Structures are given as structure tokens and as C-alpha cells.
Structure 1
Amino acid sequence: MAHFLSVAPDQWVPEISGAYVDEALTAEAVAFRIATHVPIEATKIRIPTFGGDPTSQWVEEGEDLDVTDATLDGIDVEPKTIAVLSKVSRQFFDDQGQLSTAVLAGQGRDLGRKIDAALFGSNASNTKAPAGLRNVTGVNVIHAGGTWSNLDAFAAAKFHAETLGEQVNFYAAHPDDALGLATLKDESGSIRPVLGPDPSMPTATNIGGVPVVVSEYITTGDVWAIPSRHLHLVQRGAVAAEISHEAYFGSLSVALRSFARIAFGFSRPAAFSRITTHSGS
């Protein structure tokens, strides 16, 4: 059902309007579903990175223990700004006396798409965008062959994470790859899919109990195994929506601007796996 936000030109409420954009953004962006959300108000945050546990030992009663340290470091994550600007007729405000949330929702959805594109892409050549998964060094790469023919590589990714004491919470794939995996059969000539039903998640696609999410911004032929506690989506402040009557003064229009400040932190790259059908990548 369509919703409308009653906003006269002189009664713009930034908090309410920003909430509409935020709702559409978080619903659209896969990143918000698979990452640990870290809200901040400061310019940046330092996230601890993990290299290994301290070493324990068996001892006699009263025996001195050897001192070992956890392998700890940190990464600085500074959110970058993603923004969108729309031009709306002043008549839309004056005659209707209300602002359709379709405008705000459309801005929010596009912000969400751009956030996913940043997460799953490589932003090495665009310093305005935050670093994404393709920019991270130390990620485990698993070659699955030239085509998706079985789920062995996914078992390898899952057990790789478990040997590090971690857990794969999501597989993230391009829709074409997700479809290819979902239509695999258990043997030649069979109609039985390799991916059997999971009674605990009857409406979700999953591999070995791990949910599969899809994004068009993932490179075809790659599937990411995501440990959510080590993927941090850092957001500075709330999603904002603003209005200006001056920007398009000569055309009897108003400007609607929405923006968010977002960046990603990868606190243990070795716990991530990129399962790929691309040779030598």
C-alpha cells in the first residue's frame, strides 16, 4: 500500500523524512543484512583486528605460566559520503500539500544499491568510495573449477572458517550463480536438486545450512563466504534528507537531497573466502 508523508513546503521534518530514506536504503542493501552494523558519531573508529589466540598450557600446581599475548592490531575506518539529489516541482508541494514517499524511497533504494556496489567491488581507483571486499588482502581463495558442478568448494569454505574458530554466516552470490547452484542435480539424469530443503528456513535458499543472499554487484563466477562478525558496516550519524527552495529558484522547483556516511571494516580477512570459477584469480 502506498504511504504519504504530509509535508507542506514550510513544514519539512528532516528526522521523519530521513527515516523514510533509511527504511528504503536498509531494505535494498544486502550489506545491511550480512554485516555487523556499527553506528558512530565521530569522524572515524578504530576496529580491533584479530590474528590469533593466546597459547594455553598444562601445568603442575604452583608452576609458573609462560606469558603469551593475543595477536591484536587495529584498522581505522572512516565513513565516506554517498549522496543523491532530486528536483521536484514546487507545484507538487503546493497543490498536493504532501510529499509522496516514493521520491524519498527511490533515493534510499539507489543509495542502498551504491553501497552494495562499493562492498562487493574494488574501489582502488575511486578514493571517494570506501574500500570493498576486492580491496582486502589475505582473503582465502577457493577454486571451484570452470563451472558450478558440485558444492565441494562451499564445504571447503565452511571448514576453513571453522579451523580458524569462525563461522560462515552468509554466502553472497550474483543472481546468475545463485540460480546455477540452485538448479544443480544430485546426479546425472536426476531431477533431485543438490540443495535440499531446510525446514528451519523454508523460504530461504541455503547451502549446508548457510543462507545465500544475492546482489547484481558481485562478479559473476564469484561467491563470497561471509563471517558477519568480521564484516563491519560503519555508519556515521543517521541517514539524512534535506530540502532547498533556493537551488532551483528560477524553475519553481525544490531540491531534495539525501545522504549517508558509510564505510566497511574487515577485521579478520583470513576468515573470508572467495569461491570462484575463474582460473588464476
Structure 2
Amino acid sequence: MPQFAANLSLMYTELPFLDRFAAAAEDGFTAVEYLFPYAWDARTLRARLQAHGLQQVLFNAPPAGLGRAAMAAAWDQGERGTAALPGRQAEFRAGVLQALEDAEVLDCPRIHVLSGIVPPGVERESLKGLCVENLQWAAEQAGRAGRTLLIEPINLRDMPRYFLNRQDHAHELLDAVDSPHLKVQMDLYHCQIVEGDVATKLRRYLPTGRVAHIQVASVPERQEPDRGELHYSYLFELIDQLGWQGWIGCEYRPAAGTRAGLGWRAPWLPG
């Protein structure tokens, strides 16, 4: 049976962020994810999780910045990660350490590390060595902290010139880094836009044990997974058949209010 985590950055946006925890719990979610925790004291977020019986299963390392305030503002300033960017190693390391500190407070097992936007005039392949070096260091830190880092292929329509776009490229990075503390975050929305053939990708990669988190949304609108061109009922059944036990993050933008669009979950709720 799929386990769904509410993404509080995209869902329940009709409510202030700190009120979204209660709303997700009221709707039967037992786990949450969101983009970033850095605009809040981690102890405040932990209190919300505990008050509503929720588990934090994922958040992102900062997209840039050397201090918490800069990290909290970086996404809105257009930053999309530094793992593959020359001259940004200090920011990358500071961000990973801050993320691990917050993960300890939030008891969150997984952190997604953003790669960054390939600079104009630079070839993606020329950045691979730097990215591997950064991820090797980061994975070592994560292992010491008892956490797992994730990398995620993201489509170029939503994020032009993003360093990492394909599932095979992500697994090539895992081969190069060679650490049990680095795995893949497989977003089926991004996978469909870039590559298609999603069911075959699931059959290929889930049995490897290297996919630690899945995310879903409809294609092309990135709304509830009961619409669009992907047949999610089939894909959820396939994920079950493959024996995958991880969380599936609902990283979609509700078409007409979060609660009104939750009917798609009905076949997958216990009982």
C-alpha cells in the first residue's frame, strides 16, 4: 500500500505555513515534506510535527547562502543549488551542515541536495567531477549524522539549464560517489517530461534499492495525480508489486483547493 506524504510547500497554500501541519493531519496524512525549513526555528517545526503526530520525511538542503537568513532567502532570489557550481563550495558545505543540523532536530532521515543551474557557456559534463567531489564530502557528513542525501533529476522546462535531468545520469553520479548514504529522489512528474517510459524506469531502478523517495504530480499541469497523461493508478500498483516501501511525496499544486482534490487517495487509504 503506497505511503503518501503531504508536501506543505505546494499543498494547503490557502493556509499560513505553520497551520498546514494540522490540516494535513486532519486529512489523514501521517508524514510531510516541504522545500525548506530555514525560515523557521527547527524547534518550532518539531513542535508542530509532534502536536499533530506527523513524521518529517524529506526537505531540501539550502539552495545557496552562508548564513541561515541567506539560506532562507536564496530560493526566492533564483538560486537552485550549488553542488555542481564552481566557486560555491563554501556555500555548499555550509548548506549541507545546516541541513544536517535541522534534520537532527526534526528527526528527518532524508535531505535532497540541489545541484544548481549550469552557467552560460559551460558544458554540463565539465561540472561532473566537481559535483562528485562535493557529493562525496556531503555523503560522508550525512553518514556520520545517520542521514541519507538524495539527488533528483529535474526537468528543463520548469528549471532551465538545471545540472541533473535524467535518471541514468543520477545513477551514474551514485556510481561515481560510491556511498551508501547517497540515493535518488525519483519524481515521476519530472521523469515523464524528460524521458517518459516511467513504468520501465520504475522496474529498472526500484529493485536496486538506490531510490529512497518518490514524488508525484500530474503531467503537464503538475496537479493532482488523478488527471493528465500519466496513469497513476497503474503506477501505484506497479510500485507495490515491486515491493518498494518508501514514502511517496505529493508534490503537486491543487487545482481547486487542497482538501477538495484529495479524492484520488481513496483507493489507497487503509481499510
With normalisation by structure 2, the TM-score equals 0.25
With normalisation by structure 1, the TM-score equals 0.25
Bigger RCO of structures 1 and 2 (CA < 8 A, at least 6 apart)? 1
Quick check: which has more Rg, 1 or 2?
Answer: 1
Normalized per residue, the structure richer in helix is: 2
